[in-house]
A and B are shown apart, each in its own frame.
Chain A
């Protein structure tokens, strides 16, 4: 990498993927008869290059389908580029979809461990932090040893988020997660993220809420149909995005 303090480095990254319209043989045969497309090639990211330094808070904005989520999956390492190079340094913690790794039959406590190791936390670390995790989730103690299928969706979400914020990450990936939960808890999450920011954690923040991006981020990347249309200070990016939206 060119500089020592860069943590994410995208070098002319292109990402193609195939939209598979048919998942079963029946659909495939059907489509062949009707001469429909069976595979659609999508150019999701077009020659994307950027560099994120340690401690930066970058907001990624753009319309649906502009490639924001694809960008996140590539930073997270779950999806590889078709061409170009992606370099990411440090421990990544995605604030994942509400309890993606949760199992409804397991108790809250068991799910904390399960989700923790999925996110790459050591078992000992979870053990040391379990009190803090439960405190942060604001779940009553009588619920924590109950299967999570009895939880309300709010409780579910709070538990999932609490595990994620205790992962001690170098890079935090946030995808629209704050859109859910009650106002008080959202506020708490934002505070926690501000703490991360102070500790020098790099945050990549994908959001449709321009106000949150404006308050929170120090830099904006605006994606437009897979192309980086803007990369720089926050105000400029947001106003460009707004003017694009108004044109439509």
Chain B
């Protein structure tokens, strides 16, 4: 397995990214936590007046946060994956190692951020006295599927951006639209039943619903829907990985 063989490279590239960031600024790790927290505060302030939040059953800030954290992981991972190969141009031209290690290390660094900002989420749950059920460890399974999906998409976008830099601008636009099509601020139940099927084909929607089911409800995961999410994640990963490896030998020529 490539990952085992290149384990120490992966480890050092990941810690390079994590260390470099906290060394750059005075508040360091604090920013990682503060950023999603502030977004959550603003969103819950604005949208609590617009939506029928009484139907949700949990405090709105908690509800938003449970969707926002996985979304931020998704968004940040893809943004940095896209620029990653271009930023490491000098390495790509000189030294061989499997290039997916670069993308994977970025994702691992963002995963670190995700878990760090999740600590605030737990504090918030205690603050709002939301019951922490025995089902919450199931979120690891959902995260693993989301990680695979994000990784697959990241490989493809990184590759695309290497050839045309517009990919990152275009995709940032896509991300904005995607955000509103994903139930981060709202619940899918706000929509009439006949439109809800749309959310089944948006993997991010499937994941975020599943997170909320295990953390905020009583652990009743919609396994069928998560299964579709897993299937989509595997398909995206396999297709992206195959294309990525096929093109790998030309990276040094185009970068």
A contacts, CB < 8 Å to B: 17-18, 20, 23-26, 28, 73, 76-80, 92, 94, 96-97, 100-101, 103, 105-106, 110, 113-114, 117-120, 122-123, 147
Tell me the complex Cα distance, A101–B17, Å: 12
Q: Report yes or no: A118 in contact with B9, Cβ–Cβ below 8 A.
A: yes
Tell me the complex Cα distance, A114–B91, Å: 12
Residues of B within 8 A of A17 (CB): 250, 253-254
Q: Report yes or no: A79 in contact with B249, Cβ–Cβ below 8 A.
A: yes
Q: Is B23 an interface residue (CB 8 A)?
A: yes
Q: Which of B9, B163, B250 contacts A79 (CB 8 A)?
A: B250
Residues of B within 8 A of A100 (CB): 90-91, 93-95
Tell me the complex Cα distance, A119–B251, Å: 18
Output the residue of B16, B90, B165 with the most chain A CB within 10 A: B16
Q: Report yes or no: B9 in contact with A117, Cβ–Cβ below 8 A.
A: yes
Q: Report yes or no: A118 in contact with B91, Cβ–Cβ below 8 A.
A: yes
Tell me the complex Cα distance, A105–B253, Å: 29
Q: What number of residue pairs across chains A and B have CB atoms under 8 A from each other?
A: 84
Nearest residue in B to A23 (C-beta to C-beta)?
Answer: B165
Q: Report yes or no: B96 in contact with A101, Cβ–Cβ below 8 A.
A: no
B contacts, CB < 8 Å to A: 8-9, 11-13, 16, 19-20, 23-24, 90-97, 163-166, 249-254
Known: A25-B164, A97-B90. A79 touches B252 (CB 8 A): yes
Q: Report yes or no: B95 in contact with A110, Cβ–Cβ below 8 A.
A: no
Known: A117-B8, A118-B95. A79 touches B253 (CB 8 A): yes
Q: Report yes or no: B96 in contact with A78, Cβ–Cβ below 8 A.
A: yes
Q: Report yes or no: A20 in contact with B8, Cβ–Cβ below 8 A.
A: no
Known: A20-B254, A73-B252, A78-B251. A96 touches B94 (CB 8 A): yes
Residues of A within 8 A of B90 (CB): 96-97, 100
Known: A73-B252, A106-B20, A122-B8. A24 touches B165 (CB 8 A): yes
Q: Report yes or no: A110 in contact with B97, Cβ–Cβ below 8 A.
A: no
Residues of A within 8 A of B20 (CB): 103, 105-106
Extra contacts, 16 of them, besides A25-B164, A100-B93 (Cβ < 8 A), are A18-B254, A20-B163, A24-B165, A28-B164, A73-B94, A78-B92, A78-B252, A79-B252, A94-B94, A94-B95, A96-B94, A97-B90, A105-B19, A110-B16, A113-B12, A122-B8
